[in-house]
Structure 1
């Protein structure tokens, strides 16, 4: 028996009181979704989250109305202080490599680059997310599904959370319809017609630009070389086996060389931008299109119509009667407009091994999978970022250039578990996506449908290709060299230049990657 405050309390009762107090504290400490005023305030922990900086004027990628909403609705109730880490979109690979090497990568990081994933996995740089998803990501797992989650699994280990890709279209080809109209020319339907159109753009100069006219443009930005030439070069490839498609490097696929030869012809005839070799970040490419100097170009299927960087919008300001339309002229030997489309997964969301906030990272992604959260992150507020709804789809989206800075948004980079706006059906998803391109809804829809014509998924292995992890960085640099030197050399020197560069490329790791992929392909088929 013990005395306390003049009252007698039994040992049994005292133990019961202490047990209740301890249990109560423990249950409060485990809460992740809400808190009450009576609870003892938690000590905030910091969760760092990567976010793309797309250099949108007046918009802060790390501090805006949406990041503040995330902090209020997820961070504060869970005792988490979110810190968003901006990374320039065009420098994402280089920046993430630097941060990973220094063990300073954000707790929630991501990349589209599968070769980068191979490298991080090989070097033991990533957290196994399997058990964490089971414990803290049940809603997220249900949202993504097992098939999609498998795209983040290598060798039986869940190294990444793959984002769900709503829109699978990838590449597009575009032309100035107003230039065609001024020359009374039809939309080109074949590669030969495309070539003749470029010649007419140069010789007849429908834009009255003189020496500044650029019939066709590309860039040597390592992240965009493929994007600005893909549909053209794919059309030159000949039919190959499934194993070859999975294993061979582009440079040695039959027919690809002839595609590069065609680009060499365009360059030497002044039909391809002579200054492309200086454009190492793609900014000059964008500027030339927006200023009305370019007649045709290749990029993402929606690129000119996006709010950011707003090429078609800026072009309209500079050339009021301008009109950029999607086209599909490049047919292969079988008469198909072959191009690649995205696999069902988008970017790979990863938690670096150095992170001490893996649990919080998965909780954050799990919270994001709630429908009401995704709707806000992908659309903003009615009355602010859009004015109306149709069939539950926000519409009349207001472009950033018409919004005050504190209401500017960049939806795709904060709702990272999904690439694209999802509303339950393909038809609604396309319609919803088109609303994000105010003034260009019909062109967006047309471009999307063209981009899926004769499109196939990109090959994907369910295991790490170690040679790719080992050689990918060096080979990327060599690919730029092949691209530049083969296109800009004299036609008489083309074969010698191309063959020599490709031979060096294959000896520097290209052949090792091909050999390992062939072995992996055969193992997968078993």
Structure 2
């Protein structure tokens, strides 16, 4: 999809057209033909005879014409062409793939530069879909519309996930969001409190895999954990943790007390700033109480990104709040086993916490991240071939190859039973590394991620990587119990998210400011004063946004 590359492609097509025209000229009586009229007639007859055969050949092989695709991607592994699923796709569809890599930290700016210079690669495997910009580009003709009606697996996604209707421009899709298959049972998000069941048992508790708790019971359990210190960690023990420490307090614990802390919401017909509601201050006071009692790490207010997770992996955390989809659970357990080889899936449990209002608070599951798109310059037939390949990758057989590796080499199937020959590490976990030559089993998943983000491998029947305990006893049980409890749910509000206006675009939901001042209030001696002072300082800006929402988003 780039200008120089598009020019090169067009040049190639022009050369091909010239060659075809030249060939045609040799069979045409233009006055310069030295052959006889009879020879010319014979040539025409031969062409007429050969035409049906050539047409039949084309019909029998819809991929006879070779295509090379320029693909704009976040990922560009050096051994991409050697991945078994990639090799099979290239052979089946008669294509080559040339990747133009973009790094995540310059992703948006690089894309804008390519669009401005009319140099966008023809296949955009990763597009961030900044909504206002996306709509503008779609209307300017930057992207080509995507019709999924001929591709049943892709089309099925558009009917199962709400996001697709929300990103249509004048009734057409110009970017295809990549969905996340985190919870196939209902709309409950997978943010949960994970707890160490082995530590709970050591303290005399016979907790269920999904254990009901009130907020007060959770607080008392954290105090008991600190007092009894079942792993004898001393000052290294962290009773309660989130992935990035203080940076996550407002979006985790704060959200538990105020479901609207990260957004705007309607009250009595007018838009309100969620973080300004009194429930936020109550959340701050509750988190401060945890912090002051040493139930949160004293240095957690200044964590770097992921530092809380690192302490969880190191076996120092008793309860962890975060995204607990099945793949994340498995990843956490595997990393914990490095320092604790005896830790197993069944030592991992989840608390279902009822908040002081008597309700379980959840988020609606997040549907997507990133998208793919096509530059308007792409040929219709090339686009069709690419979409056929994407649809093929979402078939059951290809999803299994994506998950397990090369069929007959890395795995076989007997009925629904999947038998793998994967190597294992010292902890007994399956290992996919360059050293053992099996890194492609994980690495080739980036190919399928050009069309669907993640989760398809988790829910394959018989996948030996994910235990029934994680899938059923934990995740399925949690989301079904949460739904049955009639929870308070923070919804995905796409209309609000995608609403564009000058001040809304400029300030958003003040997310970074809310995060930073939530931290300041928690560690201060006067949280109420700190928080209210912050709210007053941004009040004019907030009003400028809510005025736009009142006017433009009814």
TM-score class normalised by the smaller sequence: 0.7 to 0.9
Distance 1:332 1:396 in 2: 48
Matched, 1:181 2:201: yes
Give the match's secondary structure for 1:102.
helix
Question: Match of 1:81?
Answer: 97
* Larger Rg computed on CA atoms: 2
| Contact map agreement 2:137 2:143 (CA 8 A) in 1 | no
| Contact map agreement 1:126 1:352 (CA 8 A) in 2 | no
2:309 to 286, 301, 312: 286
1:444 to 466, 471, 491: 471
Give the match's secondary structure for 2:494.
coil
Matched, 1:171 2:228: no
Distance 2:80 2:419 in 1: 22
1:108 to 99, 121, 124: 124
Cα offset, 1:359, TM superposition: 7.5
Give the match's secondary structure for 1:414.
helix
Question: Match of 1:63?
Answer: 79
Question: Match of 1:319?
Answer: 340
Q: Single out whichever of 163-172 and 61-70 deviates more from structure 2.
A: 61-70
Cα offset, 1:264, TM superposition: 1.9
Give the aligned length. 482
Question: Match of 1:9?
Answer: 38
| Contact map agreement 1:140 1:369 (CA 8 A) in 2 | yes
Distance 1:414 1:109 in 2: 9
Cα offset, 1:272, TM superposition: 1.0
2:63 to 26, 34, 38: 34
Superposed CA RMSD: 4.6
Question: Match of 1:99?
Answer: 110
Distance 1:497 1:204 in 2: 35
| Contact map agreement 1:292 1:318 (CA 8 A) in 2 | yes
Question: Match of 2:214?
Answer: 190
Distance 1:441 1:221 in 2: 31
Distance change (3 Å), C-alpha of 1:13 and 1:387: closer
Matched, 1:300 2:308: no
1:432 to 442, 460, 480: 460
Distance 1:6 1:238 in 2: 85
Cα offset, 1:27, TM superposition: 11
Give the match's secondary structure for 1:336.
coil
Matched, 1:161 2:172: no
Give the match's secondary structure for 2:182.
coil
Distance change (3 Å), C-alpha of 1:196 and 1:147: closer
Matched, 1:207 2:227: no
Q: Single out whichever of 367-376 and 394-403 deviates more from structure 2.
A: 394-403
Cα offset, 1:339, TM superposition: 0.3
Give the match's secondary structure for 2:225.
helix
Cα deviations by residue, 1:291-333 (Å, 9 ceiling, x for unpaired): 10111111112268545xx321232342245422111123351
Distance change (3 Å), C-alpha of 1:434 and 1:146: same
| Contact map agreement 2:259 2:361 (CA 8 A) in 1 | no
Give the match's secondary structure for 1:273.
coil
Question: Match of 1:368?
Answer: 390
Question: Match of 2:361?
Answer: 338
Distance 1:385 1:505 in 2: 58
Matched, 1:495 2:528: yes
Cα deviations by residue, 1:206-226 (Å, 9 ceiling, x for unpaired): 22111111111124489x837
Q: Single out whichever of 42-51 and 356-365 deviates more from structure 2.
A: 356-365
Mapping 1:126-525, distance limit 5 Å: 132-134=145-147, 138-139=151-152, 142-146=155-159, 148=161, 149-154=164-169, 156-168=171-183, 169-185=189-205, 187=207, 189-220=213-244, 225=248, 230=252, 232-237=253-258, 243-244=266-267, 248-282=272-306, 284-302=307-325, 306-307=329-330, 310-322=331-343, 323-333=347-357, 335-342=358-365, 345-351=367-373, 360=382, 363-370=385-392, 371=395, 372-382=397-407, 385-386=410-411, 388=413, 391=416, 394=418, 398=422, 401-405=430-434, 406-408=437-439, 409-410=441-442, 413-416=446-449, 417-420=451-454, 432=460, 435=463, 437-438=465-466, 440-449=467-476, 450-451=478-479, 453-454=482-483, 456=489, 457-461=491-495, 464-467=498-501, 470-471=505-506, 475-487=510-522, 489-490=523-524, 492-505=525-538, 507-508=540-541, 510-519=542-551, 521-522=553-554
Distance 2:53 2:271 in 1: 59
| Contact map agreement 1:47 1:83 (CA 8 A) in 2 | yes
Distance 1:326 1:153 in 2: 38
Distance change (3 Å), C-alpha of 1:397 and 1:299: farther
| Contact map agreement 1:173 1:296 (CA 8 A) in 2 | yes
Distance 2:351 2:421 in 1: 26
Distance change (3 Å), C-alpha of 1:276 and 1:332: same
Please list every run of 5 or more consecutive structure 1 residues that lacks an aligned counterpart in the other structure: 52-59, 423-428
Please list every run of 5 or more consecutive structure 2 residues that lacks an aligned counterpart in the other structure: 1-28, 184-188
Distance change (3 Å), C-alpha of 1:327 and 1:460: same
| Contact map agreement 2:89 2:389 (CA 8 A) in 1 | no
Distance 1:332 1:20 in 2: 84
Matched, 1:120 2:145: no
Distance 1:512 1:305 in 2: 39
| Contact map agreement 1:64 1:407 (CA 8 A) in 2 | no
Give the match's secondary structure for 1:299.
strand
Cα offset, 1:251, TM superposition: 1.2
| Contact map agreement 2:67 2:382 (CA 8 A) in 1 | no
Q: TM-score, normalised by structure 1?
A: 0.74
Cα offset, 1:463, TM superposition: 8.4
Give the match's secondary structure for 1:194.
helix
Q: Single out whichever of 168-177 and 270-279 deviates more from structure 2.
A: 270-279
Distance 1:221 1:389 in 2: 46
Distance 2:49 2:255 in 1: 69
Give the match's secondary structure for 2:474.
helix
Cα deviations by residue, 1:452-507 (Å, 9 ceiling, x for unpaired): 513644222188311486236793432331233233x22x3201212222344554
